[in-house]
Amino acid sequence: MQSPQPRVLVIDDDPSLLKIVGALLSQGAIHPVLVESAERAFEELSTQRIDAVITDLRMSGCDGMQVLARMAREWPGLPVVLLTAHGSVPLAVEAMKRGAADFVLKPFDRQALLSVVKNALARPSEKPPRPVEHPSLLGTSPQMRDLRSRIARAARGNATVLLRGETGTGKELAARMLHRESERSDKPFVRIHCAALPDTLLESELFGHEAGAFTGAVKRKPGRVELAHGGTLFLDEIGDVTPAVQVKLLHLLQEREFTRLGGVETLRADVRFVAATHRDVERMVEEGTFRADLFYRLHVVPIWCPPLRERPGDIELLSRRFAAELAEAHALPPVALSVEAVALLAAQPWPGNVRQLRNFVERLVVLSEGRDITAAEVAHELGRTGSRPPPASDGALRLDMHRRAAEREALEAALRQARGNRALAARILGISRRTLYNKLEKQGLL
């Protein structure tokens, strides 16, 4: 059986250098995984097989030495090659002493870099890499078992998936799990946060641009669709894109083709589309702020990520796991949550869901004075200004819960009156059949 193609993670905040190194690795029969920050690199390391890492020594934010230090803790034995300028040679030598496989001076000779990488890949690993874990998808509740089951079933095909759910419920990790379990798992997983960019920049990031397409576009740049070729493109917060961008996304999903900004060449999009949103898109369609045809293209396989308040039994497992991981991440002694502390955590509504719980546990771990976190410490932090949701948030939460309960009751009553005929039930409720199916899916009545 043919051995799998080696996968090398390349970290550099210079997109042009990333593209050069990626092309070089591809020519050498090595699959490149390209990221522009250490944060994204650690996400890739946690979600897919990586055989070696190339990282620039000097980067904004987390630099190459910090990358090396964390990898030594969490992915021991994984070879790291550093790219460095002449002035940083002493630092690169120090990195070699701390476990780096090798370093290459910039500007580098292409064949020399390829040779160094292949030597690093051939070097036997001293320790096996840490097994992949997905904390935000942990849980023994029926809701989480159902979520993992639906992701596994959806991963078998190539249909577009729309991940629904509130902020902080783990939609991105669900998308990564779907990619990891699909036939495209050896290809790139590329994410774009649609809500974080203005229209022009979002289009450039999605489709890429040609040199001279706009002021500052001095060279051609591939977009996320191009970088995700053969893999998965994750469109995060798709509900926040403007009508102008919605038109172009519709064409992309419908025709599977696109054109770079300022270009004339039509390119094929060989990607699996996964989108996510926390918004009520059905209501947006009814209000005319979201295109119905785009929604139908996205809503082929809907998957709901449950809020934490619907699975409070999972809070103990999550909080204990977070406490252990975060103590290690901050180089602190191991800490434990008391039974009473966990009970107090489980009694909170957590409107920010798993993300909010994790951030709160991190605060407890960092501020704790001993090895055991008590209920008193939890209560103290909950009572601090800005820690507990204001009364209006609690009221809004209760109102949302009552609205959901009333909607479920209305759906069940209509189905009973229609004797299970969903077309008739939709007419009774005064909504379309598709909206009825979406609401039944959301309420778990399908």
Three-state SS for 380-445 is HHHHCCCCCCCHHHHHHHHHHHHHHHHHHHHHHHHHHHCCCCHHHHHHHHCCCHHHHHHHHHHHCC
State the Cα–Cα distance between residues 82 and 94, nearest whole angstrom: 11
Kindly report whether the global pTM for this prediction surpasses the value 0.75: no
Q: What is the mean pLDDT of residues 118-130?
A: 63
Q: Which residue has the higher pLDDT, 176 or 263?
A: 176
What confidence score (pLDDT) does residue 112 get?
82
Q: What pLDDT does residue 64 have?
A: 80
Q: pLDDT-derived band of residue 88, with 50, 70 and 90 as boundaries? A: low
The residue to which tokens 């059949």 are assigned: 433
Domain-wise residue ranges, the chain: 7-122, 135-304, 312-383, 391-443
CB atoms within 10 A of CB 436: 21
Asked if the domains at 135-304 and 391-443 fall in one CATH topology, the answer is no
164 vs 89, higher pLDDT: 164
Please give the CATH topology (third level) of the domain spanning 7-122: Rossmann fold (3.40.50)
Question: 359 in helix, strand or coil?
Answer: helix
Q: Where is pLDDT greater, at 194 or 216?
A: 194
What's residue 291's pLDDT?
Answer: 95
The pLDDT, as a whole number, for residue 4 is 67
| pLDDT classification of 405: cutoffs 50, 70, 90 | low
State how far the Cα of 324 lies from the Cα of 422, in Å rounded to an integer: 48
Contact 350, 357 (CB under 8 A): yes
Query: Which pLDDT value is given to residue 47?
Result: 65
Average pLDDT estimate for 329-358: 89
**pLDDT value at residue 130:** 42
Bridge-based pairing state of the strands 266-268 and 257-259: antiparallel
Residue 135 has pLDDT above 60, yes or no: no
- Give CATH for domain 391-443: 1.10.10
| CATH topology classification for 135-304 | Rossmann fold (3.40.50)
Assigned token pair, 59? 């980067």
Enumerate residues 6+ apart whose C-beta is below 8 A from 61: 13, 37, 38, 39
Point out the least confidently predicted range of 28-37, 139-148, 300-309, 406-415.
406-415
Residue 108 has a CB neighbour count (10 Å cut-off) of 17
Neighbours of 340 (CB within 10 A): 14
Structural fold of domain 312-383: Helicase, Ruva Protein; domain 3 (1.10.8)
Check pLDDT > 80 for residue 92. Answer: no
Average pLDDT over residues 175-195: 89
Q: Indicate the DSSP class of residue 261.
A: B
Mean pLDDT value across the chain: 83
CB 262 within 8 A of CB 213: yes
Question: Rounded to an integer, what distance in angstroms lies between the CA atom of residue 432 and that of residue 282?
Answer: 11
Q: What is the mean pLDDT of residues 218-241?
A: 88
